[in-house]
Structure 1
């Protein structure tokens, strides 16, 4: 009986795999619905409990400590600045995900604002986190987890591992206010592709119409697909869940060559094609060798010991055969031709740039 069930399960798995094209991607992997995005939060706070690695006399920290003291009814005498070497002024950042509800926890990152040497062992006092509209959406507080380490000796020598002036508080913020995504009251739904492509946008609209029926979806540009949806959050949520799991064959990426000049990395995608072209690439090496010689005067002469310069210059040019690209050469043929002449990454960049200038390579050349 178990064997029969296994065969049935395998048959259904095969059917599912056959139903999904090999190059297909889910709509949810191609972009996002407008309004369903994360929001950045930022706040200012004070970290206390440091072992003498704080800001010392930084004005920001001093004012912050006075503000903290005033919350509890403690008023410092005028002109008196608290010793804040065990405290530090910090900036607190977090990301508020879509549909976050009050009471949910967020991870926060705490970074020193002034000259604090290390935040290790510190505790963040209650700090409000504000959004772009200057409204408070979360409150942060807790003990920091700092992965860096900084040590300073009496003679001035220092040792630093990673970055001790920044840390994280897992679940250190509590959401106080939800963000209205607006998708339930908008006239229609809008799906935005992560990468602009007219063909992909049209295929997404066709897939939605083919599954839901009618002409509900329209590609209005290379990024956005407008979808007519019934009013109400529940019905729209069901429609969005159905849409984002549809499979679509995205359009082929444009021919592109990526060159990282700093690391010498060259990436060529499979859409790159080469027109008929012949390439000859040589390497010229010039070596200058200095061998000074000491000349001694003859015995009983009045001459002096001198140094005679002796230089040798040698130029060697490697002879490499010319190779030709056939019409429409593919990525594998390009790699084989370049490997055959033993071209280094810098040589490959020179060859690709020359092919681009000659009009033999119809691809975008991106230099990072």
Structure 2
């Protein structure tokens, strides 16, 4: 990776040497496990509703009818009959609880949860979440969440003075939910096939994966379906030991193919490019012209005489001049069968600012000389 400091303070750009097939010799091999996953291997979203208690007068206000009703419902489960209108505590807050259920989870496993206020509570610091059922989109309860909140912020106010850090109405409970119903990701279809999906879809990479799998097992097991998926047939002898079969596939190394890209973030002045992204023959001429208009104001003071006429008075006189300055030498760069890294290094040597480099790259792309996708954020 190459890091260059721009002459313009606060701006910089980065060149990252990436492996692009066809442009790089001896490209690095990567495991299939690092560039994709098997279809069906996914996390599951869980959500629940609950109450956080123990707040120091920073909970929901009595105007929140949902919180008052929820408190009354909880107390009713312990044979305490209280009308919702009589609940005036500000030590309780209504919250939503979210979590992600892993692709494989067994009963009794613990998962992390995030707690967010849905009322007008000022802070959840010091609160404890009461037992909250965690449901999946199908309405089935898969976990129960409960525990003391960890809040990475605070908010204190008095007499119009407020001191706040981060978001005190959002907290987390590490290992705060217990899985009640286990799940097992199914990656083997009824036709005894699996589908390996790429994180970045690419036809060439998909074809190489299928060829590498067939070569590793010595038979035609894999077929590239499209730019994203590779279908793999599981032999009957390997179905009983599917874990070992999947492990062998994930360990296979291939050379992925990637589209050349140059990413520009104009807000921060950052340029990220593959170190070997090619550019065609191009000539860049860069100059600097500075124009300034300067005005000098002076006062014309008449000679004071005893009998001054009415038309004689003090006047303000403005004298303006235009200054034009230009660099004695313009920046000139000639690139022939070079890379973006070479071009930017050459522009840096003539002390070109990052903003100007961004403009030059745009012009090079418009001229059809940049052999990469130009992404501007």
| 1:204 maps onto 2:213 in alignment | no
CA-CA distance at 1:309 after TM superposition: 3.7
Instruction: Identify the match of residue 53 of structure 1 among 55, 58, 63.
Output: 58
Q: What secondary structure, in the 3-state scheme, does the structure 2 residue paired with 1:339 have?
A: helix
| 1:285 maps onto 2:285 in alignment | no
Task: Identify the residue that residue 241 of structure 1 maps to in structure 2.
Answer: 247
| 1:321 maps onto 2:331 in alignment | yes
CA-CA distance at 1:304 after TM superposition: 5.0
| 1:266 maps onto 2:271 in alignment | yes
CA-CA distance at 1:166 after TM superposition: 1.0
Unpaired segments of 5 or more residues in structure 2? 1-25
| 1:62 maps onto 2:68 in alignment | yes
Instruction: Identify the match of residue 44 of structure 1 among 49, 52, 61.
Output: 49
Paired residues of 2:344 and 2:357 also in contact (CA < 8 A): no
CA-CA distance at 1:312 after TM superposition: 4.2
Instruction: Kindly provide the CA deviation profile for residues 126-175 of structure 1, in whole angstroms up to 9, marking residues without a partner as x.
Output: 11112222221111110001111212122x02111122111110110011
Matches of 1:313 and 1:81 in 2, distance apart? 78
CA-CA distance at 1:290 after TM superposition: 4.5
Unpaired segments of 5 or more residues in structure 1? 1-20
Q: 1:311 to 1:363 in 2, by over 3 A?
A: same
Q: What secondary structure, in the 3-state scheme, does the structure 1 residue paired with 2:183 have?
A: coil
Paired residues of 1:142 and 1:169 also in contact (CA < 8 A): yes
Matches of 2:28 and 2:260 in 1, distance apart? 18
CA-CA distance at 1:283 after TM superposition: 2.5
**Bigger relative contact order, structure 1 or 2 (CA pairs below 8 A, ≥6 apart):** 2
Instruction: Kindly provide the CA deviation profile for residues 79-100 of structure 1, in whole angstroms up to 9, marking residues without a partner as x.
Output: 6141242111212111111111
Matches of 1:62 and 1:286 in 2, distance apart? 69
Tell me the C-alpha RMSD between the 2 structures: 2.1
Q: What secondary structure, in the 3-state scheme, does the structure 1 residue paired with 2:85 have?
A: coil
Task: Identify the residue that residue 9 of structure 1 maps to in structure 2.
Answer: none
User: Structure 1 length normalisation: TM-score?
Assistant: 0.87
Instruction: Identify the match of residue 83 of structure 1 among 56, 75, 88.
Output: 88
Task: Identify the residue that residue 161 of structure 2 maps to in structure 1.
Answer: 157
Paired residues of 1:34 and 1:189 also in contact (CA < 8 A): yes
Q: 1:95 to 1:310 in 2, by over 3 A?
A: farther
Matches of 1:125 and 1:296 in 2, distance apart? 85
CA-CA distance at 1:294 after TM superposition: 4.1
Aligned pairs, how many? Answer: 344
Matches of 1:50 and 1:307 in 2, distance apart? 69
More strand by share: 2
Deviates more, 1:132-141 or 1:291-300: 291-300
More helix by share: 1
